[in-house]
């Protein structure tokens, strides 16, 4: 067992989860976070520690290859986790998805199947699986409702990843229906935060823009380059909000249907670039590289089911980006690819009252 969470004094705290709720899972329960080194997994470990969980189970890749069913079964037999968060996988931005489709489909199909099956075989009490908003059809009506999954063609730049993730959701539903397993799924929107991947070839847009404006600042360059037209619209959730929501759902959600997790607010990539530029290096003008793909035109989740359940995000985009940039600076400003890098320490989020999403308010807000 190992722990991925730590502290970093320089990074300003952000306040996840605007709704008051109390954990009722036993704090001495055995909780397995599959994928604890990544952006999401490390945030869940931080959140579990902050809640007071004492038996957080993690496994290094050298100890168990999650694509290997026998190895995963053996690990489950030894550790017998009661609660399982499945957040392991091969992930990346639009370029990585387009150029490494075989890894994205194979790794994710295998990892999700082995962990879900082992959780069933070793009688885990509950499992939470995470999909992704990019697995909805490319031209979904907006905001995207949960029941729009599998209603149209996928975005070609990430179809192999999407197929693997859709299979993961169906796995949870199938094991629930056939074996009575308490397996649930959530569908997070685009994420960012501590332990993000800032490598320009494999990262998502938000960490990429932080790096690009930072590099422009260091070089005293006059511009930063943004891929595509700047017109696609995206919704961004701080990963500490997601981690708070994951624990909330592990406590409160019991349905077959997956549930969307987001802010219900989006902005264009051009607006995002302006916001990151204001925070990191306002002197840089923005140049668009039209040779790069735009991907899905818009991805805004309908989060009304989550709001009805009693959870809302707490970290506004502007504060979240400032905190992510501080983390980037405090941690050397460089990280290799998501799957292999060692996470640096990140400060656990403080619990404070909700703030208004000022950044998104500056853009066109879309209620869900």
Residues that bind ligand GFB (CB under 6 A): 93-95, 97, 132, 134, 157-158, 161, 190, 203-205, 208, 226-228, 232, 234, 269, 292-296
How many angstroms separate the CA atoms of 34 and 122, rounded? 15
* Residues 129/185, Cβ–Cβ less than 8 Å: yes
Q: Write down the least CB distance from residue 13 to ligand GFB, Å.
A: 25
Nearer Cβ to ligand GFB, position 67 or 234?
234
Closest CA to 172 of 123, 112, 124, 132: 112
* Residues 41/351, Cβ–Cβ less than 8 Å: no
Question: What are residue 310's DSSP bridge partners?
Answer: none
- Joined tokens for residue 293: 């793909």
How many angstroms separate the CA atoms of 66 and 114, rounded? 7
**C-alpha distances in Å from residue 254, one per residue of 3, 94, 142, 257, 258:** 28, 32, 26, 9, 10
Q: Write down the least CB distance from residue 194 to ligand GFB, Å.
A: 17
136 is annotated as an active-site residue: no
Nearer Cβ to ligand GFB, position 208 or 267?
208
Q: Look-up: residue for tokens 């890098």?
A: 341
Q: Write down the least CB distance from residue 316 to ligand GFB, Å.
A: 19
Task: Considering the candidates 161, 175, 281, 325, report the single residue annotated as catalytic.
Answer: 161
Q: Write down the least CB distance from residue 18 to ligand GFB, Å.
A: 23
Q: Write down the least CB distance from residue 65 to ligand GFB, Å.
A: 22
Nearer Cβ to ligand GFB, position 45 or 286?
286
Angle formed by the axes of helices 269-280 and 205-219, to 10°? 40
Phi/psi of residue 3, each to 5°? -125, 140
Which residues are tagged catalytic? Answer: 161
């Amino acid at each position: 067992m190992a722990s991925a969470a730590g502290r970093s004094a320089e990074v300003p705290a952000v306040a996840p989860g605007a709704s008051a709720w109390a954990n009722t899972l036993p704090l001495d329960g055995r909780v397995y976070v599959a994928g604890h080194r990544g952006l999401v997994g490390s945030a869940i470990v931080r959140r579990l520690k902050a809640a007071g969980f004492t038996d957080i189970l993690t496994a290094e890749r050298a100890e168990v290859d999650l694509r290997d069913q026998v190895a995963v079964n053996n690990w489950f037999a030894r550790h017998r986790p009661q609660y399982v968060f499945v957040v392991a996988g091969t992930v990346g931005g639009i370029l990585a998805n387009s150029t490494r489709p075989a890894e994205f489909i194979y790794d994710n199909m295998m990892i999700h199947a082995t962990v879900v099956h082992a959780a069933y075989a070793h009688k885990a009490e509950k499992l939470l699986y995470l999909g992704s908003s990019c697995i909805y059809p490319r031209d979904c009506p907006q905001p995207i409702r949960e029941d729009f999954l599998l209603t149209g063609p996928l975005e070609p730049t990430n179809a192999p990843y999407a197929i693997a993730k859709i299979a993961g959701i169906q796995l949870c539903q199938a094991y629930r229906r056939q074996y009575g397993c308490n397996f649930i799924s959530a569908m997070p929107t685009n994420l960012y935060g501590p332990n993000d991947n800032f490598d320009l070839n494999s990262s998502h847009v938000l960490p990429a823009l932080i790096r690009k404006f930072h590099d422009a600042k260091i070089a005293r360059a006059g511009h930063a380059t943004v891929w595509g037209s700047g017109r696609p619209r995206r919704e961004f959730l701080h990963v500490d909000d997601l981690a708070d929501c994951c624990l909330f759902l592990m406590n409160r959600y019991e349905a077959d249907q997956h549930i969307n997790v987001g802010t219900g607010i989006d902005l264009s990539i051009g607006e995002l670039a302006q916001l990151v530029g204001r925070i990191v290096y306002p002197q840089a003008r923005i140049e668009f590289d039209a040779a790069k793909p735009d991907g899905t035109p818009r991805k805004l989740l309908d989060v009304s089911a989550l709001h009805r359940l009693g959870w809302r995000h707490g970290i506004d985009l502007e504060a979240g980006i400032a905190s992510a940039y501080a983390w980037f600076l405090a941690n050397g400003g460089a990280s290799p690819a998501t799957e292999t890098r060692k996470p640096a320490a990140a400060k656990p989020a403080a619990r404070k009252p909700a703030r208004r999403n000022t950044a998104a308010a500056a853009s066109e807000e879309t209620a869900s």
